[in-house]
Chain A
Amino acid sequence: MPKVTFIEHNGTEHVIEGDIGDSLMSLATGNLVPGIDADCGGECSCATCHCIVDDAWIEKAGQLSETEESMLDLNPDRESNSRLSCQIPLTEELDGIVVQLPEFQY
């Protein structure tokens, strides 16, 4: 099972194993990782599951849809490797992925 490392804003690390096809968002909420609100439940409707993907993994995490890009673009904490974690399904290739969580979700 692929492993994901979530790093909270305060530096606390959570290493979690997930099933192929789980979104990073559902992995975080299902394991009580603080910092992911996920109000809309994974519909790309709220942008409260923002994460920052480690540079080494950003390409493997896939392309942003137009909706995801628009939602992120007006996020004050947006970085070049920002993603919405509900839009990243776990694959074998992502085994070991590291993502940072922002202090606030908007």
Chain B
Amino acid sequence: MSAMVMVGAGHAAGQAAATLRQAGYEGELIILGDESHPPYQRPPLSKQYLSGEHGLEKVYLRPEKFYADRNIDLRTDTSVIKIDPANKSVTTSGGNTIDYEKLLIATGSRPRKLGIEGSDLEGVHYLRTIADVDVISTAMKSATNVCIVGGGYIGLEVASVAVVSGLQVNVLEMEERILQRVTTPEMSEFYHDLHTGRGVAIHVNTACSGFEGDGHVERVVCGETSIDTDLVIVGIGIIPNTELASDAGLTCDNGIVVDDHCVTSDPNIFAAGDCTNHPNPILDRRLRLESVPNAMEQARTAAANMAGGDKSYAAVPWFWSDQYELKLQMVGFSSDGDVQVVRGNKATNKFAVFYISNGAIVAVDAINSPREFMIAKQLYGKQVDVSQLADVNFDLKNLLQK
């Protein structure tokens, strides 16, 4: 017996299984996931699922019955504890050994934990899974003061949901500005002003040193000062889940190292999603990306190659974040640009910043500006006339050639 086996049941595993079936692969297909749910979308967890706008069925990537209908053996609540490349098998925590023909490691990532005093008090949460959000959204109903540790996209999305639902919200950021790791000072300032304008208190240069309370968190301590709180959500980044791969002897270096076919250092083992360190031929460098579109595209690539195809990964990274009524869509990395071109008016919350390097578009941050996002996605790396980009009366459609 030999099967296509997926370790992990997130975006990448779900998409890879679907792609294999779509491509006509009819053999055994097994998904091993340690959560209780079928593959689901994580982006809505800090947005519409947290706010209650979307129920579970909208969060699942495909309906629960899809897997049985397509003869995909989805095993939830099943952790893999070991990969044995020599025998082409994996072992689960329940002691089962499952043989594979080809294996996909799609283990994703986990929240980075705060190792400070009081971290284990009740009311201190991380946000990564449906189970996390179920607990957080219940806690939000009875909370008054929410403290968010970390001013990244997840934290700020949660801040927007929490303040809109009437809670007092404090955001603690240890760096000198929110979003420091991922965006420019100008965009950080824009989002800082947006949130403070809606009533969120943002504290920069503020490192959290501990949590205090009697069983349940009551205060966040930041050096000499403290902030009263009854709910803490920590969003300080993620760590790729590479341990299974490294224990199996696969090459890992800031992620599981794969080639452009999503193959690891073992030819029968593939990897896709947040856990990979992969080459991007368009950006001409290796990356590890925390990104759904990347997980989906790598999964399609891996699945095609697992089935004996010859597909290379080459995609421009893009991201999105929803905060309040603002839709931020990003292409590429603003740090790759050396010139900024603003199109539109920041004061109207509808503008885009193009980032240019050697005359070519290398990134965009588009706020309520889907046209600018679409143009950057299509013209990535192409030479542009920056005066046209900056001119809101110039129709961007003129830049497209079919």
Distance between Cα atoms of A67 and B320 in the complex (Å): 14
Central interface residue in B293, B322, B375, by most chain A CB within 10 Å = B293
A74 with B70: CB separation less than 8 A: no
Does the CB pair B61–A29 fall under 8 Å? Answer: yes
- Take A40-B43, A43-B43 as given contacts and tell me if A70 and B371 are in contact as well, using a CB distance cutoff of 8 Å: yes
For B198-242 the 0/1 string (1 means CB < 8 A from A) is: 000000000000000000000000000000000000000000000
> Is A41 an interface residue, CB under 8 A from the partner?
yes
Find the residue from B18, B43, B329, B370 having the highest chain A CB count within 10 A. B370
Interface residues of B (CB under 8 A from A): 18, 21-22, 41, 43-44, 58, 61-63, 66, 70, 292-293, 296-297, 318, 320, 322, 327, 329, 369-371, 373-375, 377-378, 396-397, 400, 402
Contacts A41-B41, A43-B322 known; list 10 others, CB within 8 Å. A39-B293, A39-B296, A39-B297, A40-B293, A41-B61, A43-B43, A71-B371, A76-B378, A76-B402, A106-B374
Q: List 8 A-B contacts (CB under 8 A).
A: A32-B70, A34-B22, A37-B296, A39-B296, A41-B41, A41-B44, A47-B370, A106-B378
Q: How many whole Å from B339's CB to the nearest CB in chain A?
A: 22
Shortest C-beta distance, B18 to chain A (Å), equals 6
Say whether A45 faces chain B, with CB atoms less than 8 Å apart. yes
Are A41 and B292 CB-contacts (below 8 A) given A73-B397, A74-B400? yes
Residues of A within 8 A of B (CB): 26, 29-30, 32, 34, 37, 39-43, 45-47, 67, 70-71, 73-76, 106
Judging by beta carbons under 8 Å apart, are A74 and B61 in contact? no
**Given A32-B18, A32-B21, A39-B293, is A74 in contact with B371 using a C-beta cutoff of 8 Å?**
yes
Q: Which residue of B296, B322, B397 is within 8 Å of A74 (Cβ)?
A: B397
B65: nearest residue on chain A (CB-CB)? Answer: A30
Return the 7 tightest CB-CB contacts between A and B, nearest first: A74-B374, A70-B370, A41-B41, A45-B320, A71-B370, A39-B293, A32-B22
* CB–CB A41/B22 < 8 A: no
Q: What are the residues of chain A within 8 A of B66 when measuring CB–CB? A: 30
Q: Is there an interface contact between A40 and B320, defined as CB atoms closer than 8 Å?
A: yes
**In the bound complex, do residue B44 and residue A29 qualify as a contact, i.e. CB atoms below 8 Å apart?**
no
Residues of B within 8 Å of A76, CB to CB, are 378, 400, 402
- With A29-B18, A32-B22, A74-B396 known as contacts, the answer to whether A45 contacts B378 (CB < 8 A) is no
The CB with the most chain A CB atoms within 10 A, among B296, B396, B402, is that of B296
Chain A residues, CB < 8 A from B396: 74
Contacts of B373 in A (CB 8 A): 71
- Nearest residue in A to B321 (C-beta to C-beta)? A45
- Asked whether, in the complex, the Cβ of A67 is within 8 Å of the Cβ of B370, the reply is yes
A42 touches B58 (CB 8 A): yes
Query: Which chain B residue lies CB-closest to A34?
Result: B22
A43-B371 contact given A34-B22, A74-B397, A74-B400, CB 8 Å threshold: no
The chain B residue with its CB closest to the CB of A40 is: B320
Give A47 to B70 CA distance when docked, in angstroms: 27
Distance of A42 from chain B, by nearest CB (Å) = 7
Which residues of chain B are within 8 angstroms of A71 by Cβ–Cβ distance? 370-371, 373-374
List of B residues within 8 angstroms of A32 by Cβ = 18, 21-22, 70
Q: How far is the CB of A95 from chain B (nearest CB, A)?
A: 20
Q: Which of B62, B371, B397, B400 is A29 in contact with, Cβ under 8 Å? A: B62
